[in-house]
Every structure is written in structure tokens, then in C-alpha cells.
Copies of this chain bind each other. A is one copy, B any other.
Amino acid sequence: MSLVLGVDPGSRLTGFGLVQSLGAKLDYVTSGVIRIAPTLPLPERLDLIYESLIEVIEKHQPSEFAIESVFMSKSAGSALKLGQARGAAIVAATSQGLEVHEYEARKVKQSVVGTGAADKLQVQHMVKTLLKLPKTPQEDAADALAVALCHINTQKHLLSVAQSKHFRRGRLV
């Protein structure tokens, strides 16, 4: 069993989502959005992301942490803001002893929707379907749940590759 916390950091909205997996069974635990008033001074904004995520981690005790990796950004200004939010989110996880797993946006979409070129609406729709949610989650919460699902799928795939290698070795010897 694993309990995965996915996070989609941003300087104004940081989404988070918790998914539990047991074998092929996926269970939605919770999700939400940390909303940060742009009028707050930067240190307070970053502290809000950091403290809110630590609160989620302390309450739910996830076993793993997943976040989207970033390679491209529109501008240096937005990259700096996103970087600061990511830095605060990542050390919130590492300070609580969680390993951080990063996944490219294309891989997250591929894993959840089946195509790396999926748009936000498709991600929201598939997250709702896969987790049997009564309502479509907010965009940033859906992205956070999607990266958690991507991590669960990747771990399962790695496990099944390891098992099939073991099986092949068993036949060869």
C-alpha cells in the first residue's frame, strides 16, 4: 500500500492531492488548493505554501511525494516565482523525511490521459473518472492528483518489470 501526496506548486495557487493505492485499487483521500493573496510579502507567501504542506503531511502521513518537473518557462520573471514556490514545496517534503519524485508534465499527461499533449480539461476529466469523484476537481488540485497517479503508475510499472525480469531469470537458470 502506498499513500502518495502530489503537489502542483504555484506562486498564487498550489494544488495538492492524496491518493492511496493498494494493488490495482486506487482511492481518493483528499485534495485542495492553497490560495495565496498576491498582496502578501514574498516570505509570507512562501511560508504559507511550506506550512500548509507540512500540515497536510503531518495529518495524512503520506509515504511518497510527487511533483512535476519543470524545464521550460514563459519568462525569467515567472520562472523565478515558480522556482520559489517549488523550493518551498520541496523542502516541506524533504524536511518531513519524504523522498521527492519528479515527473515531466508530458509524462504525467501520458500516464493519466494517454497522450502527452492532453489539455487541462482532459486531465481534470480523467482524474475525476479514475478516482470516481462526484465532482470535477479544481484545475490545480486535479494536476496535483494527476502527478500522484503518475507516480503510482510508474511504481507499478517498475515493480512489474522487476517481477518479469525475476521470472525470466527463474526460467533461465
Contacts and interface: CB of A to CB of B under 8 A. Distances in A.
A83 interface: yes
A42 interface: yes
Interface in A86-113: 86-95, 99-100, 102
A85 interface: yes
A136 interface: no
A88 B91 CA distance: 6
Contact of A70 (B46, B80, B87, B90): B80
Interface of A: 41-44, 46-47, 49-51, 70, 72-95, 99-100, 102
A20 B75 CA distance: 39
Question: Shortest 3 CB-CB distances between A and B: which pairs?
Answer: A83-B83, A87-B87, A43-B100
A157 B169 CA distance: 74
Contacts of A77: 73, 79
A37 to B, nearest CB: 16
A23 to B, nearest CB: 28
Contacts of A95: 47, 50-51, 95
Contacts of A75: 76
Contacts of A51: 95
Nearest to A95: B50
A73 B84 contact: no
A46 B85 CA distance: 12
